[in-house]
Amino acid sequence: MSACILLKERIEKKRRNMYNAYLSHADYPSIVKISQELDHLLNLYRKHCQ
């Protein structure tokens, strides 16, 4: 499987994770950490797959 496809799957999983954390009223630092991880994945995708 292509690295970009795998990266896209990781991005979607991280998005679901962040949304679920928001819905379950996770603490702010946890949501920020997930958001930063998502930003990192998105930056990798933009750099290598677009």
Give the C-alpha separation, 46 to 48, whole Å: 6
Question: Domain limits of the chain?
Answer: 3-49
Give the C-alpha separation, 3 to 10, whole Å: 11
Q: Say how many Å lie between the first and final Cα of the chain, rounded.
A: 17
Residue 1 predicted with pLDDT over 80: no
**pLDDT the model gives residue 18:** 96
Quote the distance between the C-alpha of residue 3 and its chain's center: 16
Give the C-alpha separation, 43 to 26, whole Å: 25
**pLDDT the model gives residue 23:** 96
Q: What is the pLDDT of residues 4-29, one digit of tens each?
A: 999 999 999 999 999 999 999 999 99
Report, as an integer, the average pLDDT of 40-49: 98
